[in-house]
């Protein structure tokens, strides 16, 4: 190893202090050490570099030409080291960082989620939020593989794995979306039995969405099976098909923010427990030890009246 590579930050600080004071006793006092060890460190540094850093004439100490050049480099090195330390401290305080957030399309349909996102970015301007569209199944896999830190998804039909924490952020309700000219469009509450023979427009099962699982579970509880005419990859596309008169669908009420003049939303006449659905935050427990991620989770909870831990496994 090159001798220069053995220079320590402590040696550099000693050298810079002596160079600023041009007096070994005063420099030692600033460094809260005795003078002999300070002198020895400077001599060791000169030996390792192979140059004289100071010219000593009686009680007078001056920098040599080499010393002036080394001083400039030493100050730059110490500034960089201080920058590394400060970056580490800011990360430890949660003031900077990078959070990978997977979210379903409807997550940002909720005002509370929008408010939480804005508030977090205002409170933590140096924390980057990387937002990735996803669905419930892929989101859980992303968390398992540590490719996602947090996911905003629909409730899972089964308990989340033991390494996850799940928090309910918002509630809405499964509703019927009908073409405006449907015979039952003016009916306020409609039983599923009245719709079973109509063309049902479904979310694609292969997308792994929590909504698809909940809708199918609703049909099962009713003891009915829908007449699926078409499957579509996303909720907005399904609603567009409803507007085109190709059938009806069942989606969470939060989708009503997507305005189609030729679509009406109606309540399903069923046990409220069957139609209740929620937007949940799911995260790996490990990330809660990181200040930035933990702060993001807390911000979402703070802005949501529905937020409460519903499952936590040891």
The CATH number assigned to the domain holding 41 equals 1.10.10.10
CATH classification at residue 186: 3.40.190.290
Tell me: do 40 and 77 sit in the same domain: yes
Give the model's pLDDT for residue 126: 85
> How would you label 127-139 residue by residue, b for 16+ Cβ within 10 Å and e otherwise?
bebeeeebbbbbb
Residue that is last in its domain, among 41, 73, 92? 92
Range of the domain at 274: 94-314
Closest listed residue to residue 18, CA positions, set 61, 77, 82, 59: 61
Tell me: do 183 and 288 sit in the same domain: yes
User: 240-276 pLDDT, tens per residue?
Assistant: 999 999 999 999 999 999 999 999 999 999 999 999 9
User: 95-142 pLDDT, tens per residue?
Assistant: 557 899 999 888 999 999 999 999 999 988 888 899 999 888 889 899
Give the model's pLDDT for residue 95: 58
The pLDDT-based confidence of 313 (bands split at 50, 70, 90) is very low
Whether residue 89 is predicted with pLDDT greater than 70 in this model: the reply is no
Closest listed residue to residue 281, CA positions, set 121, 126, 112, 127: 112
Whether residue 151 is predicted with pLDDT greater than 70 in this model: the reply is yes
Residue that is last in its domain, among 73, 92, 111? 92
Give the model's pLDDT for residue 314: 29
Whether residue 207 is predicted with pLDDT greater than 80 in this model: the reply is no
Tell me: do 13 and 137 sit in the same domain: no
124 vs 88, which has greater pLDDT?
124
Q: Is the pTM of this model over 0.75?
A: no
Q: What percent of the chain has pLDDT over 70?
A: 90
Give the model's pLDDT for residue 1: 42
Tell me: do 85 and 103 sit in the same domain: no
């Amino acid at each position: 190893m090159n001798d220069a590579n053995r220079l320590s930050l402590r040696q550099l600080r000693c050298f810079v202090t002596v160079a600023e004071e041009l007096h070994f006793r005063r420099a030692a006092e600033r460094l809260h050490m005795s003078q002999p060890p300070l002198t020895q460190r400077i001599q060791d540094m000169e030996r390792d570099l192979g140059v004289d850093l100071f010219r000593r004439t009686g009680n007078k100490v001056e920098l040599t030409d080499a010393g002036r050049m080394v001083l400039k480099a030493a100050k730059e090195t110490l500034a960089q080291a201080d920058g590394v330390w400060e970056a580490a401290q800011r990360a430890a305080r949660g003031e900077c960082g990078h959070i990978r957030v997977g979210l379903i399309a409807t997550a940002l349909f909720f005002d509370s989620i929008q408010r939480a996102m804005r508030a977090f970015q205002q409170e933590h301007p140096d924390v980057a939020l990387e937002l990735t569209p996803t669905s419930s199944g892929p989101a859980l896999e992303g968390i398992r593989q540590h490719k996602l830190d947090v996911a905003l998804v629909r409730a899972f039909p089964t308990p989340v794995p033991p390494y996850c924490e799940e928090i309910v952020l918002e509630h809405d309700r499964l509703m019927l979306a009908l073409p405006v000219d449907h015979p039952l469009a003016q009916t306020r509450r409609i039983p599923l039995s009245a719709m079973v023979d109509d063309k049902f427009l479904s979310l694609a099962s292969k997308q792994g969405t929590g909504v698809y699982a909940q809708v199918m579970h609703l049909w099962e509880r009713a003891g009915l099976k829908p007449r699926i005419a078409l499957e579509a990859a996303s909720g907005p596309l399904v609603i567009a098909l409803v507007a085109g008169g190709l059938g009806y669908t069942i989606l969470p009420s939060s989708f009503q923010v997507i305005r189609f003049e030729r679509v009406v939303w109606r309540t399903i006449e069923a046990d409220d427990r069957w139609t209740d659905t929620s937007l949940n935050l799911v995260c790996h427990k490990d990330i809660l030890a990181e200040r930035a991620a933990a702060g993001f989770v807390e911000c979402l909870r703070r802005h949501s009246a529905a937020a409460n831990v519903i499952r936590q496994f040891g």
